[in-house]
Amino acid sequence: MSIITSDGIEPLLRPDDPRPSGPGSRGPSGVDVGSATLSLGEDGLTPEQVKRWHYAFTPYRNYAGDKKIADRALSWAKEHYRIYRDSTTDLRAKWQSLWDLYHGWSLANERGGGVHVPEVYKMVETLVPRIEEALLNYDPWFAVRARRQTDQYQERRIQQYLDYELDANKWPSLVPYAARAYMIHGFCAIKSWWAYETKFVIERDVSRSTGTDGRPRFDITTRDVEKLIYEGPRLALVNNYRYVVDTSVDDPQRGLISGDICDMTFDQIAALGEMDVFENWQKLSEAQPSVQEENWERQMSQTVWPYNGLMGRLPDGAPRVIPVFEAWGPLD
């Protein structure tokens, strides 16, 4: 990728950017190759420089702007989603029954009826702390092992880095939720991604001087500045009822698709769009989201079921939540 900066001011050029500097060359696997130059400030990376850094380390072009490819990708995602739902109808009905039993509802009565059967809840909640203890009773609770003697220094660095990032993402707090999902549904999934999080903060500069009358005078300058507050990996437990995977294989790593439907606010989508993760995201500013999935799958994962139907409408002023289907897989 051929990228040019001028004192950290000029934005990075994408391979298809019609700027005079010209595009970079393309390698045998379709990766944009070339060189990049980044100018860093004394106070670390600014939000704009983080975007340039992200561009430099994203060698694959975003083809969402190509309508033909985008339409094929959309059809690919919809078809895989349909296949998954059709092939797991009975399985998801079983999950619903187990979820009912976990909440103490008898299968012979309507959800939320007068009969309370707490046995499944007691079994699950008895095992959760035991699983936590088995996984997290050691510090560190995992180990990195180098295959060669000469890599022991890197082994320690990787161990310390992973331990820090997992602790920063409060990994221990995810374990009980993952354990419950595994015991009720037979599996649990955790996804990770690289996040750049910014925040506008108020900065003030105060200078003191002496006026002509001999009294002290203060000059105050106030600025509203966007600051990078976090850069690194994030972890999240995937909602089992909104997880999509290739059911024709026994190993998800060899499947044709893996993904989930997650809820994102428009501001979150816009931030990723500015990082070149999404294309055409501006069209969502006025569009109303359309949820195609069955309602019970969204509700069954919430603790306020069956009363959350009363909370279906967000209060005025709340950020709009848009369902986003994130899927990974090969597209010919």
pLDDT tens track for 174-230 = 899 999 999 988 888 899 888 878 888 898 888 888 888 888 888 889 988 888 888
In a domain, 149, yes or no: yes
In a domain, 290, yes or no: yes
Q: How far is CA 266 from CA 55, 88, 196, 259, in A?
A: 22, 31, 16, 20
Asked whether residue 278 carries a pLDDT value surpassing 90, the answer given is no
How high is the pLDDT of residue 4? 29
- Tell me if residue 281 falls in helix, strand or coil: helix
For residues 226 and 100, state if they share a domain: no
pLDDT band at 253 (very low <50, low <70, confident <90, very high): confident
For residues 106 and 230, state if they share a domain: no
In a domain, 121, yes or no: yes
Report the sign of the C-alpha dihedral through residues 275, 276, 278, 282, in that order.
positive
Rounded to the nearest 10°, the torsion over CA 86, 89, 90, 94 is: 150
For residues 183 and 259, state if they share a domain: yes
For residues 211 and 231, state if they share a domain: yes
What DSSP letter does each residue of 48-99 carry, written as one string?
HHHHHHHHHT--S--GGG-HHHHHHHHHHHHHHHHHHHHHTHHHHHHHHHHH
How high is the pLDDT of residue 131? 92
Q: What are the residues whose beta carbons fall under 8 Å from the beta carbon of 228, sequence distance 6 or more?
A: 44, 45, 46, 47, 50, 196, 197, 198
CB 3 within 8 A of CB 276: no
How high is the pLDDT of residue 274? 76
In a domain, 14, yes or no: no
Distance CA 166, CA 148 (A): 25
In a domain, 114, yes or no: yes
In a domain, 139, yes or no: yes
Higher per-residue confidence, 47 vs 124:
124
Half-sphere exposure for 36 (CA within 13 Å, toward CB): 21
Distance CA 203, CA 276 (A): 29
For residues 177 and 243, state if they share a domain: yes
Q: Where are the beta strands (DSSP E) in the chain?
A: 25-26, 32-33, 190-210, 216-237, 243-245, 258-265, 321-328
- 147-175 average pLDDT score: 89
Residues 4-33: tens digit of each pLDDT = 233 333 333 333 433 333 344 555 666 666
How high is the pLDDT of residue 26? 58
Residues 292-323: tens digit of each pLDDT = 444 444 444 444 444 444 445 566 777 778 88
Q: 177 is written with which tokens? A: 């939720």
Domain residue limits at 148: 92-189+238-328
Distance CA 186, CA 271 (A): 35
Q: How far is CA 48 from CA 66, 142, 194, 196, in A?
A: 26, 36, 16, 11
For residues 127 and 223, state if they share a domain: no
For residues 151 and 215, state if they share a domain: no
For residues 157 and 125, state if they share a domain: yes
In a domain, 37, yes or no: no
Asked whether residue 37 carries a pLDDT value surpassing 60, the answer given is yes
Distance CA 17, CA 22 (A): 8
Distance CA 166, CA 141 (A): 11
- Mean per-residue pLDDT over the chain, rounded: 76
For residues 208 and 182, state if they share a domain: no
Q: Which pTM does this prediction carry?
A: 0.71
pLDDT band at 99 (very low <50, low <70, confident <90, very high): confident
Distance CA 34, CA 293 (A): 43
For residues 277 and 231, state if they share a domain: no
Phi-psi region of 104 (alpha: psi -120 to 50; beta: other; left: phi over 0): left
How high is the pLDDT of residue 110? 56
Q: At what angle do helices 119-136 and 171-185 cross, to 10 degrees?
A: 140
pLDDT band at 157 (very low <50, low <70, confident <90, very high): very high
Residues 108-152: tens digit of each pLDDT = 555 555 556 688 889 999 999 999 999 888 877 888 998 888 888
For residues 102 and 143, state if they share a domain: yes
Residue 327: DSSP 8-state: E
Asked whether residue 46 carries a pLDDT value surpassing 90, the answer given is no
For residues 218 and 271, state if they share a domain: no
How high is the pLDDT of residue 13? 35
Domain end residue (candidates: 235, 259, 294): 235
- Domain count of the chain? 2
How high is the pLDDT of residue 283? 80
